[in-house]
Chains A and B, each alone.
With several copies, the nearest count.
Chain A
């Protein structure tokens, strides 16, 4: 396959590094070019990395519960920066507390994310989705 680039990172004041490390391994092994900006990443850093590397997708992680606040306006900022078509995924423990998943998902879809993943998602699911969304043959 033609190599597609994804930017990976953990947004906001969040330091959960383990899932991020595993996603890096898994997406690399699946044939993606992975640009991992790591933890404690502000929105702007994701966008800068995406522009610099001409990325096809941004995968945002938020584990620590502040995802709702940290992700506000992310899609708009991408558009402002000229990344109109970039694929945006978000996943992790997105809100504070154990909450009804459907409404959490809707919240993030409304913010403009293309796909939203619940806690405990294994890498193979977003990998398959991303291949589909980027039109890569499995």
Chain B
């Protein structure tokens, strides 16, 4: 198998499809033409994610979306309804449990049973594959707003078949972003291939005039990932998706914590995305900002501070939507009440900020310029490695550590990066490993970290990184000694 960035023929897709649908009995329920009719006839325009995102983009507002999923249908519907009415969620999620993410449908089944017995969700998400198409439709039909599948599944082919047939209109993930942070032993080649399937499926819906949004998972490991690293991944996944016929793409980024860097990141994400996708027609690009994805403070009041700071940044950066954390983040999957609290705090901030001017200035310009230069240096090298083929380039780039993600569990990730905050809290490269950076970029990061080292009278090293990882949980941004 040599994975190339070429649109799959319908035959190739349909052949693989037969196998995919046999992975678990609920696969039998899926009939593509019936599913398309279902989307056409049963979904109102307000239930389609891409429509809602397009509106927000035009009105320049930032929509809010939680994460949420429990084991059983009724409870899941109740949860989502609650987040919509009591939390004011504009968009809804269905977070998939971790067994399903690893294609352990057997264990997911056990989790469903145990949840029934214990009277509480024993799964950390909604096992959509086990529940099947009709149950998914029950969820969709109960809700007036668009619902997205959010997961972390390296091989999400069956999950995509079932949930899209089930009426979901947005599907998160990608061959890199749902592999490297979420798997240990799965090759990049494998996941790119499997995600081409998902994208081809979405492309098929698009061909038939339906809008299904796709969203590469921006934050990756959520832990000190510099913007250029996640931007590179997001744009590669967008290119791979567009090739398979995906038209509606939301590019993601996880808050680093420094306002200027984060605003610059959202701006450049959209700008770079537009630039790199210029060859594809009719693409709608939107952005998603993830509130702080690393370790949270346990105290709920402090957590509200972190949540609100994320909301501020999302609004000032004018992201199309923001994924919201909850005051329970450090402790466990939130209750629906805690989840709604995170949403309401966020909405309050977004609403207070939505009319405010965005700010400019030199610092922002510099930050944007650097992110763009770094991302281009990475992406150009990736394309070069693949002789113009981004799929091949990506596979080789991971092998050589040209693409590399901090703190990732995957053995297909070089793991040579070390990142830490500079003296202003922006995330910089302490070791840039094999990232193909020019001297200018390397110097920039070095200088920034030396500045901090000087301020703290210590050499930038792993201890500094550890301190930064704990910092927000302990109530700081920069982990000072």
Using a CB–CB distance below 8 Å, which chain A residues touch chain B? 12-15, 17-18, 21-22, 25, 38-40, 64-66, 68-69, 93, 95-99, 119-120, 122
Contacts and interface: CB of A to CB of B under 8 A. Distances in A.
Contacts of A17: 221, 407-409
Contacts of B102: 13, 40
20 contacts: A12-B98, A15-B152, A15-B183, A15-B184, A15-B409, A18-B407, A18-B469, A39-B409, A40-B409, A65-B98, A65-B332, A66-B111, A66-B124, A69-B107, A69-B122, A96-B122, A97-B333, A98-B328, A98-B335, A98-B338
B101 interface: yes
B123 interface: yes
Contacts of A15: 152, 181-184, 409
A82 to B, nearest CB: 27
Interface of B: 98-99, 101-102, 104, 107, 110-111, 114, 120-124, 152, 181-185, 221, 223, 294-295, 298, 328, 330-335, 338, 407-409, 462, 466, 469-470, 473
Nearest to A104: B332
Given A64-B98, A95-B332, A98-B331, A69 B110 contact: yes
A120 B466 contact: no
The 10 closest A-B pairs by CB, nearest first: A65-B124, A17-B409, A98-B331, A13-B102, A97-B332, A39-B409, A13-B98, A98-B332, A40-B184, A98-B328
Contacts, number: 90
Nearest to A123: B466
Given A13-B104, A25-B466, A69-B110, A119 B331 contact: yes
Which of A15, A22, A120 has most chain B Cβ within 10 Å? Answer: A15
The B interface, classified by DSSP as helix, strand, loop or mixed, is: loop
A107 B102 CA distance: 26
B330 A97 contact: no
Contacts of A21: 407
A66 B125 CA distance: 10
Given A13-B99, A119-B331, 4 more contacts: A18-B223, A25-B462, A66-B123, A98-B338
A120 B297 CA distance: 9
A38 B470 CA distance: 20
A25 B101 CA distance: 29
